[in-house]
Chain A
Amino acid sequence: MNEPVLRIDSLVKHYGQVRAVDGLSLTIGQGEVLGLVGESGSGKSTVGKCVLRLTEPTSGTITLGGRDVTHLSRRAMRPLRRDVHMVFQDPYSSLNPRFSIEQIVSEPLLRHKVMRRREAGERVAAMLEKVGLRTEMMSRLPHELSGGQRQRVGLARALVLEPKLVVADEPVSALDVSVQASVLNLITDLQRDMGFSCLFITHDLSVVEFLADRIAVMYLGKIVETGPTAELFAGPRHPYTQALLSAAPVPDPARARERRRIVLGGDVPSPLDPPAGCRFHTRCPLAFDACRTVDPALTDPRDGDHPAACHLVTPERRPDAAVPGRTLEY
């Protein structure tokens, strides 16, 4: 088995009292696209920032290509940054308005001393072509570009060094449907051609269902379920995943009106003071006594690669005796 490109072990990130990420582990294999899904405040973006060391993890380890990078100094981290790049959500604020497109895309090449400015032009032109932008764009400034074109520039900048891992945080969420479609197609094509691994962070289930190999669902700083995309969408095991899938809008009036929606009560609890036991128990329609005290571990009832963190997934291993009438449907 190949060494995973990214391995995160028991990652914890607290901002003061806010427990943004609270014990999260995941791996991404070579050429794999992992969709990290969650609602606002679930901590999904913090995971991305920790991977890039844009913020310091409170504890846990982050291993890139077999090397523990959790506590590397900025200087020691620098050469490793060649291999990990990020695509941001907002194509308006993530490009320097004073830089030409050529300067923006060539910056990683110059920063990592891959080539001199004089030689970079050709590489930039080739990269722009790959992301579907004409080379005339090189001298333009970001404000002259549309949102979709800017996101293509963001992709070109992230990919110009041919990184092993790309962290993409909601890269298409700010785009209109028709533009989103072309950027998603582009990401799929580039990923297939260049073979990079991708941590794709989003709130949009339909987007990761389209492009991810595997999905991890986050709730309040933890992963509640992870599995191969088709399997997870066909048979979600965690009650939160089930509610999330049932609440996602479907562009089909007949199905939208007939389906049974699982409506969750209340709001997402504050990450300042997450509930004891299972973090989802305050909103879970199936919660019982043990959920309020015992935090369930990620377990796959069939010992496969589709574990969920819910006591009801493995009824026989449940901490209390059987509770009649409570089973998970899948």
Chain B
Amino acid sequence: MSLLDITDLTVGFDTEDGHVHAVKEVSLSLEEGEILALCGESGCGKTVTAMSVPRLLPPRTTRLTGSIRLDGRELTTLPEPQMRQVRGKEVSVVFQEPMTSLNPSFTVGFQIAEVLRRHENLSRGAARRRAVELLELVGIPAPAQRIKEYPHQLSGGMRQRVMIAIAVACSPRVLIADEPTTALDVTIQAGVLDVFRDLRDRLGTAIILITHDLGVVADIADRAVIMYAGRAAEQAPVEELFARPLHPYTLGLMKALPAAAVAAGPGGRRRLAEIPGMVPSPLADPAECAFHARCPSGQDDCLAARPSLVRHGPAHLAACFHPARSGEQP
């Protein structure tokens, strides 16, 4: 049993335009102290998959089936009062926008202490002392002064560190980070990624990192799930994934990066590999391979049935009838 087991997760939303199939039959597991990247382009279902764990999806319109087990305990059916104990304490979230996720009317110290007072029943003084420690943990200089400041007094990188401090205040088992560095500059991003690495190393926190950036995946993740049109297309340890991508979509993503064209050699006629066509509408749930229309190695059998995830190595899975031959470099 893993720390977190997601089995056959299917999530849809009822909208005015019809039923949106956001996530379809996704199964994945997260081990203690592991950094797992959920990777893919807009609309692939990576955020919905992760946000199903703390149940942060609109309850009225969400249709969720499947199982999410944290330490063996089923979360999908847990009554809301118990779920509130899980949220923020055992599973916590760092959002993308450090500007809008902090309350502008309260000091950062108050906002960190609030979590501790709610979940850990700490006294005001103890919570304040712990807030200072937490700011130090995420690499904020002069934490004793910083806790008295308001969010607008901090830079974007510092605000994101405060968000991380709030998220790890109760030593969660699972930390979900939704594009945590996308809004940050590269020189600041490097420092924030170091904070995540450090938290994992020192506290053993398991992290689900939602990102569209393969550079970030390569830098920090242990394992990655590449998602396409609501399904997992490929799943592998990061070194393995980059060395031997099997799914044509993964390979396409890697070849489409400007860095790939630059690495391929100099010359005025460089071109990036394109993935033609568009992502299929989330309103449809075709019985064929969703990537078929855009796939360079698509054949007739891809239209006849939907490929399921097949094991190609010890921890390497891909959902494709015609995976890239091993040795085909991105």
Contact = CB atoms under 8 A, between A and B. Distances in A.
Contacts of A210: 258, 261-262, 270, 272
A267 B218 CA distance: 25
Contacts of B273: 181
A244 B187 contact: yes
Given A146-B278, A178-B252, A257-B219, 13 more contacts: A176-B42, A181-B258, A181-B272, A181-B274, A182-B272, A206-B262, A207-B258, A230-B266, A252-B242, A254-B239, A263-B191, A267-B155, A267-B188
A230 B262 CA distance: 10
Contacts of B191: 263
Contact of B219 (A178, A244, A249, A264): A249
A185 B186 contact: no
Interface in B198-226: 212-219
A324 interface: no
A203 interface: yes
B270 A256 contact: no
Interface of A: 39-40, 146, 176-178, 180-182, 184-185, 188, 203-207, 209-211, 230, 243-244, 247-254, 256-257, 261, 263-264, 266-268
A247 B41 contact: no
19 contacts: A39-B185, A39-B186, A176-B41, A177-B41, A180-B256, A182-B275, A184-B258, A188-B270, A204-B258, A206-B258, A210-B262, A210-B270, A249-B213, A249-B218, A251-B214, A251-B242, A251-B259, A251-B260, A257-B219
B167 to A, nearest CB: 21
A265 B146 CA distance: 17
B109 to A, nearest CB: 19
B218 A250 contact: yes
Given A176-B41, A177-B253, A252 B218 contact: yes
Contacts of A146: 278
A206 B219 CA distance: 16
A261 B258 contact: no
B194 A178 contact: no
Interface residues of B, number: 45
**Majority secondary structure, B binding face:** helix
Secondary structure class of chain A's binding surface, majority of residues: helix
Contacts of A176: 41-42, 212
Contact of B212 (A177, A182, A244, A248): A177
B129 interface: no
A250 B259 contact: yes
B310 interface: no
Contacts of A188: 270-271
Nearest to B155: A267
Interface of B: 41-42, 141, 155-158, 185-191, 194, 212-219, 238-239, 242, 252-254, 256-262, 266, 270-276, 278
A222 B157 CA distance: 22
B215 A250 contact: yes
A184 B274 CA distance: 10
B39 to A, nearest CB: 10
Contacts of A249: 186, 189, 213, 215-216, 218-219
A206 B258 CA distance: 6
B275 A178 contact: yes
Given A185-B274, A210-B272, A247 B258 contact: no
Contacts of B194: 263
A247 B193 CA distance: 11
Contact of A264 (B187, B256, B278): B187
B185 A251 contact: no
A206 B271 CA distance: 13
The 6 A-B pairs of least Cβ separation, nearest first, read A249-B215, A181-B256, A39-B185, A210-B258, A178-B275, A176-B41
